[in-house]
A and B are shown apart, each in its own frame.
Chain A
Amino acid sequence: MSQSILTTRIMEALAAGRKALIPFLPGGFPDKERFFDELAALDAGGADIIEIGVPFSDPVADGPVVEQASLDCLLNGTCLSWLFYELEKRKGQYRAGLVLMGYYNPFLQYGLEQLAEDAADAGVSGFIVPDVPLEESGPLREALDKHGLDLIPLVGLNTSEERLAAYAKNARGYVYFVSVLGTTGMRESLPTEVKERLAAVRRIFNVPVALGFGIKSPEQLYAFGDLVDGVVFGSALIAHIKAGGTAAEFMARWRS
């Protein structure tokens, strides 16, 4: 299989002497019209990969900021078909790789085969599904594989080396390392064991490593040096936009 476009984007960032920037924005946030403006701004602002949230009524791995944004998006009528339709119209316009991040049930109801086909047609390169651990990933992975789409593994502080190795076997794109034992959301500091676990992840996986959950500022990354290839930020971006800011301003801060 050829190298994933998601891996390529991260390697390009590293080659340019910086970490890959991976913003997360819920589809349809802050409203359906402005979402695509902000998506374009993230892309133009230097995002290497953009994770687009697919709203779900019961987002169990998310903290209050992402949960509320997700519920707002459902109220404003965001759904998977709309996202695919709008993304397909804009296919080829983004430099950044696109990843859909969402819970399993909406994907299941859409139909996994159809999901993979429509995602590929819409220019999506991969999926993150927080409530599908290794044990349940077979059917989804099979459907995504047929269209060359990556299923990004989420691992964390408490993932054993044995499980890391099992995830690493099929990993494509990048591996998403969850920095805290908790839900998404900004935190002042990250646990000290993060560094140690990241070293294990780095050793076991042969795809780039992205750090996410709890990332609030670029300074938090300094401590990790070469252990991290990219950084995911969601809650901080959502809070910034909610407070009246724009994605362009937000990206400017991270790029520098």
Chain B
Amino acid sequence: MTIHKKGYYGDFGGQFVPELLMPPLLELEEAMRTIVPSEPFKKELNALLADYVGRPSPLYRCPNLSKELGFDLWLKREDLNHTGAHKINNTMGQGLLTKYMGKTALLAETGAGQHGVATATAAAMLGLDCIVYMGAEDVVRQAHNVKRMKLLGAEVVPIESGTKTLKDAINAALRYWIAEQGTTHYCFGTAAGPHPFPLLVREFQAVISLEARAQCLDKMGRLPDYVVACVGGGSNAIGMFHHFVPDETVKLIGVEAGGTGEPGCYHSAPISLGTPGVLHGMRTMLLQTSEGQIEPSHSVSAGLDYPGVGPEHAHYGASGRVRYDIAVDDQALAAFEALCRREGIIPALESCHAVAWVLNHAAEIPKGSQVVVCLSGRGDKDLGIIEAHEAKLGGAK
């Protein structure tokens, strides 16, 4: 991977923030350089990941779907982590770093609520205060997770401005951080935003591919042929890809959310359908008008509903190292049903986009291949959406 200059991945990345945010970003960069690689920090984090988060997460071969598909479908079971998603890897890392930095509070933004729950969990466990910004629309869509955050002691602030979704929650969180930077660490939820967040979040999520690569060698006796992950902001995917990037024989597939898939619909696929621009502190691929206004995104999955993407993904898209494709809402829902019924696993709708890609591309995947999908989270939080969708289908019949 090329970093042309500080915080850049090829042409993407950077630090496009108000000057008032540069001091805390520089402070964080310094903490990354000095604290994260230090032995006491690594030791404490690894112990937390093992005993509290429940790592390593299993690499599981789906017996029923593998038989039907004619190739081996493996799931990296991030859904089995404490709090039910990969998000906890990042929040435990950043939460611990916050303590080492001498700050007392965690600030987070959240879309689907998984990152909010994971941040609230880390804060409770580590004795930090926690405030979570969430788009008002997401507060309604993800009421279950809002309840969990409150139970964990976090203050949840609904954001009524703009599209009332994740991007507006990020704007609000950045504003709050400007004012409270002395005491508060912004626990960014995905591998996006201004440098050093894409690097920091990748650092904490790379544990996924570190484990997965070793598990593949152990269980398959070789590297996999395909590694597939869903991409919203892109943190589970960057964590899943990182240690496979140098392995040229491994095809890396990032799956973006296509929304309803109808012509002209809003979607959440900035790498496949967007253009380069600057938002939330980074130069990346964006959904935007020709005049540079950010367009609303849409996906059945709140966790993928974001008009931008982490800059490292934008770079891999441009360089061709990762193939980015789209799965639409209905395909993700079909994959949801397949995993529920065939494997007894209720997956997050985000992860279903990755599974959907495999099911949709089964014909092009050679028989006998080894295919690994990052199952980034569990689907309990999405049951309301699934029920509403089924009711809609039932009504249409």
* B-binding residues in A (CB < 8 A): 56-61, 63-64, 67-68, 71, 74, 79-81, 103-110, 130-136, 153-160, 163, 178, 180-183
B171: Cβ under 8 A from any A Cβ: yes
- In the complex, are the beta carbons of A60 and B18 less than 8 A apart? yes
Contact of B20 among A105, A106, A153, A158 (CB under 8 A): A158
Residues of chain A within 8 A of B278, CB atoms compared: 103-105, 108, 131
Q: Can you list 26 A-B contacts (CB < 8 A)?
A: A56-B292, A56-B293, A58-B279, A60-B280, A61-B18, A61-B175, A64-B161, A71-B161, A105-B293, A107-B292, A109-B288, A109-B292, A110-B291, A131-B18, A135-B22, A136-B15, A154-B18, A155-B19, A156-B19, A158-B20, A158-B181, A163-B19, A178-B19, A180-B179, A181-B179, A183-B175
Contact of A133 among B18, B161, B277, B293 (CB under 8 A): B18
- Interface centre among A56, A61, A107, A153, by most B CB within 10 Å? A61
Residues of chain B within 8 A of A183, CB atoms compared: 175, 178-179
- In the complex, are the beta carbons of B14 and A80 less than 8 A apart? no
Residues of chain B within 8 A of A80, CB atoms compared: 291
Known: A178-B20, A181-B181. A60 touches B174 (CB 8 A): yes
Name which residue of chain A comes closest to B296, CB basis: A57
Majority secondary structure, B binding face: mixed
Known: A58-B162, A58-B171, A131-B278. A156 touches B20 (CB 8 A): yes
Residues of chain A within 8 A of B281, CB atoms compared: 131
- In the complex, are the beta carbons of B20 and A181 less than 8 A apart? yes
Known: A58-B167, A105-B279, A108-B277. A74 touches B293 (CB 8 A): yes
Name which residue of chain B comes closest to A159, CB basis: B19
B34: Cβ under 8 A from any A Cβ: no
Name which residue of chain B comes closest to A160, CB basis: B23
B333: Cβ under 8 A from any A Cβ: no
- In the complex, are the beta carbons of A105 and B17 less than 8 A apart? no
- In the complex, are the beta carbons of B294 and A57 less than 8 A apart? yes
Residues of chain A within 8 A of B291, CB atoms compared: 79-81, 106, 109-110
Kindly identify, within residues 143 to 184 of chain B, every residue whose CB is under 8 Å from any CB belonging to chain A. Answer: 161-162, 167-168, 171, 174-175, 178-179, 181
Kindly identify, within residues 85 to 140 of chain B, every residue whose CB is under 8 Å from any CB belonging to chain A. Answer: none
CA gap between A80 and B290 in the complex, in Å: 11
CA gap between A74 and B295 in the complex, in Å: 12
B16: Cβ under 8 A from any A Cβ: yes
- In the complex, are the beta carbons of B19 and A154 less than 8 A apart? yes
- In the complex, are the beta carbons of B17 and A131 less than 8 A apart? yes
Name which residue of chain B comes closest to A74, CB basis: B293
Residues of chain A within 8 A of B280, CB atoms compared: 58, 60
Residues of chain A within 8 A of B290, CB atoms compared: 109
* A-binding residues in B (CB < 8 A): 6, 14-20, 22-23, 161-162, 167-168, 171, 174-175, 178-179, 181, 277-281, 286, 288, 290-294
- In the complex, are the beta carbons of A158 and B23 less than 8 A apart? yes
CA gap between A74 and B221 in the complex, in Å: 57
Residues of chain A within 8 A of B17, CB atoms compared: 60, 131, 133
CA gap between A182 and B181 in the complex, in Å: 10
Q: How far is the CB of B287 from chain A (nearest CB, A)?
A: 11
Known: A109-B292, A154-B18. A57 touches B23 (CB 8 A): no
- In the complex, are the beta carbons of A58 and B294 less than 8 A apart? yes
Given A131-B278, A181-B20: 4 more A-B contacts, CB < 8 Å: A60-B18, A106-B292, A109-B288, A182-B175
- In the complex, are the beta carbons of B18 and A105 less than 8 A apart? no
CA gap between A240 and B17 in the complex, in Å: 29
- In the complex, are the beta carbons of A132 and B175 less than 8 A apart? no
Name which residue of chain A comes closest to B5, CB basis: A135
CA gap between A81 and B161 in the complex, in Å: 26
Q: How far is the CB of A232 from chain B (nearest CB, A)?
A: 15
Q: How far is the CB of A69 from chain B (nearest CB, A)?
A: 12
CA gap between A106 and B294 in the complex, in Å: 9
Q: How far is the CB of B305 from chain A (nearest CB, A)?
A: 15
CA gap between A68 and B161 in the complex, in Å: 8
Name which residue of chain B comes closest to A102, CB basis: B292
Known: A67-B161, A71-B162, A182-B179. A106 touches B293 (CB 8 A): yes
Name which residue of chain A comes closest to B293, CB basis: A57
Residues of chain A within 8 A of B167, CB atoms compared: 58
Q: How far is the CB of A129 from chain B (nearest CB, A)?
A: 9
- In the complex, are the beta carbons of A110 and B18 less than 8 A apart? no
Residues of chain A within 8 A of B174, CB atoms compared: 60
Q: How far is the CB of B81 from chain A (nearest CB, A)?
A: 31
Name which residue of chain B comes closest to A153, CB basis: B19
Contact of A159 among B23, B162, B279 (CB under 8 A): B23
CA gap between A104 and B181 in the complex, in Å: 23
CA gap between A103 and B280 in the complex, in Å: 11
Q: How far is the CB of A92 from chain B (nearest CB, A)?
A: 27
Q: How far is the CB of A102 from chain B (nearest CB, A)?
A: 10
- Interface centre among B16, B20, B174, B179, by most A CB within 10 Å? B20
Residues of chain B within 8 A of A163, CB atoms compared: 19, 22
CA gap between A106 and B292 in the complex, in Å: 4
Residues of chain B within 8 A of A153, CB atoms compared: 19
Enumerate the 3 nearest inter-chain pairs by beta-carbon distance, A residue then B residue, closest first: A109-B292, A106-B292, A105-B292
